[in-house]
Structure 1
Amino acid sequence: MTDFRGFDTEQVRTLASALRKQGEDAQGLHQDLAWLLTEAQQLMKGKPATTDPQLSPLVGQVFTFPFFGGPSTLPGVLGGELSDMAGSMERRSKQLDEVKVLIEHGYAVDPSLLFADEDAPNEKDITDALKQIHDLDGKDFGTDGDRDDLQKVRRMLDGMTPAELDAFFDKVPEADLKHYNGLINDTDDSGWKWWDENGLPESDRRDHLSAMLAKLGPSHWAKAQAAFPGMQPGFDTTDAYLDGQNAQNGNQAKGMHWGDPSDPLFAPGTDGKEITAADIQQGRFADCWYIASLTSTAQVNPQFIRDGIVQNPNGTVNVRIWDKDGNKHWVTVTPDLPLDQNGTVMGATAGGSTWPAYYEKAFALVYGGDKGGAPDGKGGDAKYDRAEHGDYGATEWDNTDKAPPYVTGKDSDGVDNDVPALRKSFDSGHPIIVQTGSGDDAQKQGNGLWGDTFSTRHVYYVKGFQGDNIVLGNPWGPPYQDIVATPEQYKKFFSDPQALEVPK
């Protein structure tokens, strides 16, 4: 993108100046209006001079200045508001002017990034970063390894404004980015030299990739993802991709590809204010253990889940995830998702919203505990059963205790496997997930009791209790019904209950 379409910054500055002048006059207007209303009320013998809730506090405040403890009502409050607005317009105008200079010097900057209230771009910062990253190739890093040099480059890139970063990505050679990615991922030392620190720790790399992606213009996402594979999880090792369907319920998953979903992040008119666990549907990846953890947490504390996802101005999405070491990260992902041949989201959704799919995408990037796992009959087949990291395949077929720390930041606690113990834990505010065993006999018997909502090697979440019976929700979501089990049935078909700890 080499052109620029913005505002006439000279006219914007003129408007800012006029707003500032109006703000300076507002204090006098405030006091004059207070005199007028006070005198009018005196002449009206106690009747109110105004019923406007913004003007009523001015009555009797004739000697009070709004900037020094007086009522924060119109018009006096405009003094500060208009001055702040004028300052913001002037800073944005400076930014736009400096971006024009960058474009004149041959940089491409995405116009959608130009309207944040931040410092104007500095071309020297861009050229310095280009030189620093280029000079990494063939550099002698000395006896202490390359980590200090890489941290320096990381700080330069992380500290850039969106316009600066976009201009940097426009000019930086792909080879320099790929070499940099190779260096930050190589954390091996030289063996006997314990002081030789190389690469960036995984936690630092994750935050670095997110910091770049959260600011970068959409026109450069493909270039960034090609250079830094850790920005985008793969899906071609999932059961759904390999077999064209969900391994448990048979839901079709043909034609998987990346694309932008037609549904919004949150259902229209809600902005996520009404997150409902019962609306969540797992989708076609075999990650029930994660979706059950997410759903059970949303049931107990929906605001906690809502607080963990934010959309950035450039269209990317930040998701709060804890890693295997208990470190909290805001993991940034692009808005595209795995879709099937019909354009339907492959992953988790919730009543016309896609927010669960972005939790799932971020989790796929971060999950670090996969040791393999495969559908029945395919264990030991390296095509299905292999350890993975950083992709959707890593999130399939794992145990109930693995996902909770990534959702809540705290390990789950095992609960005695009986209904009274589960009720006690659930009533004390803990989300709870449970799993089923395996085997054809268990599958047949369970289907006989509860129909196709029962599946072996599956994870459910506790929804509540009906008398002495326990009610279990299926993360597959609607139209799959809840399971209502007697204590004896629960004991026979379900095991390994985990109580999650949700921060207050």
Structure 2
Amino acid sequence: MGYHRNNWRQVADMAAPFIPGGEALMGAVDMVQGISDSVSLDRLQYVRGGHPVVELPWQPPGPPPNPQRAEAVGRQAWDVLFADEQQYSARSLLDQVGNLLMPLPPTELDMVVRRFGTQGLDRWDRLTHVEDEHGEAAYDWRRQQELFSRLLRTVSPYGAMLIGTGMSCSQPDFDAACSGCHCDDHGWVLPEGPFAQVDGAYVTEKWQWVPGSTEAMSWQDMDQGHFGDCWLLTSMQAVLQANPQHAPRHLRQEANGTVTVTLYDEGSPVAITLVPDLPYGHGKLWGAKGHTEDARYAESWPGYFEKAAAQFHGNYHDIVHGGPPSTALTLITGRVGQKVDLNSPWLVQEIANRKSRGQALVATTAAAPNADPGDAAQIAGGRLVQNHAYFIKDADPAGGRVCLGNPWGDGSTRKLWECWLTLQEVGYYLVQIDAVDTW
């Protein structure tokens, strides 16, 4: 298996030659494991170039459905959807549909969504993009997101996936932007790995010791993946290290399998409910994940956090182009970030003091001389990467050093996994440090 956490296979392979019969035993394990892993891989719900839509077990909350009422409301909402938006305005039609559907109990709401099918949902989606006389979309983002979040966390798993397939506005799109002859081998997968789980201490495949975490969602889980959004992901690492209780209050898996992530827009919380599929390509999870790229075993909460941020910004392309960590820290916490003075002779002491007060801190590295800003050029003797964001993992005031943690997670080498910098190196390799309160 590709499951990195306990890394039993790597240790066993190295020990096998020194144990009588060890190599034969590992050969037998290979045979059995190969069969079980191939069967598990075939079971993954993956759609190349599209979204999976499958029936899954669901125990609906609330009273049993009234089919007659669901049919009557569904027919009325259908007529409203297909009314002339030039005559009645798209905003008015969308408001009417929302007012008709929201009072329905979950089972009846699910019946209406299924009745709409792809034709009705596509029409609904197109109405959200109709522009008014000022060139603005007819339905503002916050109202739109509130409505779709209510729908997605209420209907059945099948209904949620139907919405995710039929309504492009309900979830972000992504462009893999990879090179090679299999660039079209990308789509979406329903991961089988856990949403989150408490970690024990383990050794990564790069022989890095990771301490155990008592929190189901912890900074140790973050592995960046193939999107260039270090500014976003390492900001979440910083927040979770500073305040381990942040994630349980802002990420939850709903009863129907969808995931709700709470972000902040100008200080106000915005709950974004997501269809539970994640970007997938070349046999692995393409975006953020926990500890492994294998969709059968990786914790999925980092991918859903990343997906919520992509939905907030518009799509994955917009978060790949990035932003300053200060923007990410505000998006995650709702608080305005603070700049740390890199020229202060007491910088290490100040960082230690801020961390003791529960602040999250994120550092950005400088560009290497004569290097392409888009390249992951190594600096500091191969310990750092240019134009990259790191969370400040630790501070040593007595030694005058700070430690940077890399959002590349288990996939990075030991040399790139974390980096201690002296005060002089901080001034030379870093261009800014952003801090924010997390409690």
What TM-score do you get using the length of structure 2 for normalisation? 0.71
Residue matched to 1:477 = 409
In the alignment, which of 169, 179, 183 is matched to residue 230 of structure 1? 169
Q: Contact (CA 8 Å) 1:320, 1:331: kept in 2 or not?
A: yes
User: Which residues in structure 2 correspond to 1:32-51 (within 5 Å)?
Assistant: none
Q: Give the distance between the partners of 1:322 and 1:448, measured in 2 at CA.
A: 34
| 1:497 match | 433
Gap change, CA 1:313 and 1:189, over 3 Å in 2: same
| 1:406-485 equivalences in 2 (<5 Å) | 406-418=331-343, 419-420=347-348, 421-440=350-369, 447=378, 449-451=380-382, 453-466=383-396, 467-478=399-410, 479=412, 480-485=416-421
**What is the alpha-carbon distance in structure 1 between the residues aligned to residue 61 and residue 55 of structure 2?**
13
Change (3 A) 1:173 1:312: closer
State yes or no: 1:402 paired with 2:351. Answer: no
* 1:212 corresponds to which of 135, 151, 164: 151
Relative distance call for 1:126 and 1:411 in structure 2 (3 A) is: farther
| Other-structure match for 1:186 | 130
TM-fit CA distance, 1:220: 3.4
* Structure 1 residue aligned with 2:110: 166
Which amino acid in the other structure matches residue 140 of structure 2?
Answer: P
Say yes or no: does 1:340 pair with 2:281.
Answer: yes
Deviation larger for 286-295 or 150-159: 150-159
8 A Cα contact 2:363 2:389, kept in partner: yes
1:254–1:282 CA distance, 2 compared to 1 (3 A): farther
Whether the 8 Å CA contact 1:436–1:457 is kept in 2: the answer is yes
SS at match of 1:464: strand
CA offsets 1:212-263 (integer angstroms, 9 cap, x no match): 1112223334532343102222111x5xx33369xxxxxx999432112232
Question: C-alpha distance in 2, partners of 1:274/1:314?
Answer: 20
Deviation track 1:414-442 (CA, whole Å, cap 9, x = no partner) reads 22124244334333321011111223468
Candidates 135, 146, 151, aligned match of 2:80:
135
Q: Which runs of 5+ in 2 are unaligned?
A: 1-53, 201-212, 292-297
**1:203 offset after TM fit, Å?**
0.1
Hey, what does 1:65 align to over in structure 2?
Answer: none
Question: 1: CA distance between counterparts of 2:428 and 2:371?
Answer: 9
Whole-angstrom CA distance in 1 between matches of 2:317 and 2:214: 28
Work out which of the residue numbers 282, 292, 303 in structure 2 matches 1:357. 303
Q: How does 1:61-100 map to 2 (within 5 A)?
A: none
SS of residue in 1 equivalent to 2:127: helix
Aligned counterpart, 2:203: none
Tell me how large the CA RMSD over aligned residues is.
Answer: 3.3
Deviates more, 1:157-166 or 1:119-128: 119-128
The letter of the residue matching 1:216 is V
Q: Distance in 2 between matches of 1:141 and 1:447?
A: 56
Instruction: Note closer, same or farther for the CA distance 1:243–1:438 as it changes in structure 2 (3 Å cut).
Output: farther
**Residues 422 and 450 of structure 1, relative CA distance in 2, 3 Å threshold:** farther
Match of 2:192 in 1: 262
For the residues of structure 1 that align with 2:183 and 2:127, how far apart are their CA atoms?
37
Aligned residue among 260, 265, 270 for 1:329: 270
Using CA pairs under 8 Å that are at least 6 residues apart, name the structure with larger relative contact order, 1 or 2.
Answer: 2
Please say if residues 222 and 407 of structure 2, whose CA atoms lie closer than 8 Å, have aligned partners that are also in contact. yes
Change (3 A) 1:124 1:336: same
Partner letter of residue 408 of structure 2?
A: W
Inter-partner Cα distance in structure 1 for 2:192 and 2:81: 42
Distance in 1, Cα, partners of 2:75 & 2:340: 55
Mapping of residues 97-136 of structure 1, within 5 Å: 112-118=57-63, 120-121=65-66, 123-136=68-81
Distance in 2, matches of 1:321 and 1:469, equals 33
Question: Partner of 2:285: helix, strand, or coil?
Answer: coil
Match of 1:393 in 2: 317
- Structure whose alpha-carbon radius of gyration is higher: 1
- Describe the shift of the 1:425–1:253 C-alpha distance in structure 2 as closer, same or farther (beyond 3 A): farther
Deviation readout 1:102-159 (Å, 9 max, x if unpaired): xxxxxxx97844542446445324422332332343447778x553442231132233
Relative to structure 1, is the Cα distance of residues 302 and 269 closer, same or farther in structure 2, using a 3 angstrom cutoff?
closer
Distance 1:487 1:272, change over 3 A: closer
Aligned partners of 1:483 and 1:292: how far apart in 2? Answer: 14
- The residue type equivalent to 2:351 in the other structure is L
2:38 corresponds in structure 1 to none
Q: CA distance change for structure 1 residues 223 and 274 in 2, over 3 Å: closer, same or farther?
A: closer
* SS in structure 1 of the partner of residue 97 of structure 2: helix
Give the Å deviation of 1:169.
1.9
The equivalent position to 2:217 in structure 1, one of 275, 290, 299, is: 275
Q: Specify whether residues 146 and 272 from structure 1 end up closer, same or farther in structure 2 by C-alpha distance, changes over 3 A only.
A: farther
**Partner of 2:392: helix, strand, or coil?**
strand
Percent pairwise identity: 23
Amino acid at match of 1:361: K
The one-character-per-residue Cα deviations of 1:60-92 (angstroms, maximum 9, x if unpaired) are xxxxxxxxxxxxxxxxxxxxxxxxxxxxxxxxx
Bigger fraction of residues in strand: 2
Structure 2 residue 252 is matched with structure 1 residue 318: no
Distance 2:367 2:379 in 1: 16
Asked whether the 8 Å contact 1:233–1:392 carries over to 2, the reply is yes
Q: Residue 316 of structure 2 aligns to which amino acid in structure 1?
A: Y
**Contact (CA 8 Å) 1:215, 1:314: kept in 2 or not?**
yes
Whole-angstrom CA distance in 2 between matches of 1:437 and 1:269: 33
Which position in structure 2 is the counterpart of 1:308?
250
For the residues of structure 2 that align with 1:126 and 1:165, how far apart are their CA atoms? 10
Moved more, 394-403 or 166-175: 166-175
For residues 121 and 113 of structure 1, the distance between their equivalents in structure 2, rounded to whole angstroms, comes to: 18
In 2, are the aligned partners of 1:288 and 1:459 still within 8 Å (CA)?
A: yes
Structure 1 residues 439 and 253: CA distance shift in structure 2, 3 A: farther
Aligned partners of 2:352, 2:128: CA distance in 1, in Å? Answer: 48
1:140/1:334 CA distance change after superposition, 3 Å: closer
Deviations 1:457-485 (A, max 9, x none): 10011111122111111111234421111
AA aligned to 2:121 is: L
